[in-house]
């Protein structure tokens, strides 16, 4: 038996409504409960003979072209440019060279620790390092707010996590051809061309983000109603991401990051903060879908077969993060 997609989505939202207050009572991060719920429900359905239809390779386009743009743009909307400006240097150091150093060191430790050059070569190790290098401090930021930690510390964590997500996406996009084709002229990829593409992805994404932000700010204050304003931001997110990513070959994620940071104040001025609340709802649903799907694709067999590789990955990530912070002295 195959689970109906609309029925599964309805159950997903209902479960999330109960899990969010539960996470507060248990003092656990909401994403952690979502991943756990996705895993447990998926395993229970499979044991009952129900095919969920969820396969990890189906989610590439959903995550990269829908969920990630929504989450990045919404997070950028809520960051105050003035707060980011005060700590821009340490945030960029952590998010740019910090991610690069962390990814390289993590990949190196993974390559040495797993010690299987044929099944896990250098390009695959570096790609894994990029995926692990970008921090996601959702639970840490929530803890900082609950404990009344300094606002600057929270701003550093939020700013770094937002910028390093964009950096990791750019690096992942550039390293993926290396892992598939190999870093050689015969494979159609060279390190020189990869560096040029990285610079274009980064700088092109930044420039296009500023242009898109100027358009959004120029149009928003001319719209008299909140609903058209919200729909206009949706259209701009879709158009900006697609045109920058597909037509120009630059980083659509970086463009959305810049557009969100530069238009947050304009969005807050729309009637009763409607646009901000609208994107908050979008991000909430996106987070629920993303983390539940992540949990649903985890299987017990993964832990049985690859537990040692997982432990090596966790250890490599922690060592790389500590080493990066010790170099940067922040």
Q: Which residue, 130, 259, 249, is CA-closest to 200?
A: 249
Q: Is the pLDDT of residue 241 over 90?
A: yes
Q: Is the pLDDT of residue 184 over 90?
A: no
| Residues sharing a CB contact under 8 Å with residue 157, sequence separation 6 or more, in sequence order | 137, 140, 141, 144
Q: For the residues 174-182, what does the mean pLDDT come to?
A: 72
Q: 271 or 125, which is more confident?
A: 125
**Measured between alpha carbons, how far is 251 from 34 in angstroms, rounded to an integer?**
29
Task: List beta partners, residue 2.
Answer: 51
Long-range contacts of 223-229 (CB under 8 A, 24+ apart): 223/270, 225/271, 226/270, 226/271, 226/272, 226/274, 226/275, 227/274, 229/267, 229/270, 229/271, 229/274, 229/275
| Number of C-beta neighbours around residue 287 at 10 A | 19
Determine contact, residues 235/229, Cβ cutoff 8 Å.
no
Q: Would you place residue 214 in the very low, low, confident or very high pLDDT band (cuts 50, 70, 90)?
A: very high
Whole-model pTM? 0.80
H helical segments located in the chain: 5-26, 30-47, 60-62, 68-78, 81-86, 88-95, 97-114, 122-133, 138-147, 151-181, 191-220, 226-242, 252-268, 274-296, 300-328
Average pLDDT, the chain: 80
Q: Is the pLDDT of residue 51 over 80?
A: no
Q: For the residues 279-290, what does the mean pLDDT come to?
A: 89
Q: For the residues 175-200, what does the mean pLDDT come to?
A: 66
């Amino acid at each position: 038996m195959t689970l109906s997609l609309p029925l599964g989505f309805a159950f997903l939202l209902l479960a999330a409504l109960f899990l969010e207050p539960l996470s507060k009572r248990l003092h656990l991060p909401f994403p952690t409960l979502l991943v756990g719920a996705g895993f447990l429900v998926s395993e229970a359905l499979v044991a009952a003979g129900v095919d969920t239809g969820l396969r990890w390779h189906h989610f590439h386009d959903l995550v990269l072209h829908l969920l990630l743009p929504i989450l990045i743009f919404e997070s950028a909307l809520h960051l105050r440019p003035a707060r980011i400006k005060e700590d821009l240097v340490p945030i960029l150091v952590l998010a740019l060279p910090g991610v690069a150093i962390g990814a390289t060191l993590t990949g190196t430790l993974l390559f040495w620790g797993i010690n299987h050059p044929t099944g896990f070569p250098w390009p695959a190790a570096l790609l894994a390092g990029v995926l692990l290098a970008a921090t996601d401090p959702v639970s840490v930021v929530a803890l900082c707010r609950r404990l009344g930690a300094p606002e600057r510390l929270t701003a550093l964590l939020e700013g770094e996590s937002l910028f390093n997500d964009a950096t990791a996406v750019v690096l992942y996009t550039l390293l993926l051809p290396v892992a598939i084709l190999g870093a050689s002229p015969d494979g159609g990829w060279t390190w020189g061309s990869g560096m040029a593409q990285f610079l274009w992805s980064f700088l092109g994404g930044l420039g296009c983000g500023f242009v898109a932000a100027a358009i959004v700010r120029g149009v928003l204050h001319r719209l008299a109603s909140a609903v058209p304003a919200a729909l206009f931001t949706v259209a701009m997110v879709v158009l900006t991401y697609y045109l920058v990513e597909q037509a120009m070959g630059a980083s659509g994620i970086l463009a959305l990051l810049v557009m969100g940071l530069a238009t947050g104040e304009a969005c807050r001025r729309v009637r009763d903060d409607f646009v901000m609340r609208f994107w908050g709802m979008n991000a909430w649903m996106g987070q629920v879908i993303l983390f539940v799907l992540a949990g649903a694709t985890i299987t017990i067999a993964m832990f049985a077969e690859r537990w040692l590789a997982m432990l090596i990955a966790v250890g490599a990530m922690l060592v790389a993060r500590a080493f990066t912070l010790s170099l940067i002295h922040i």
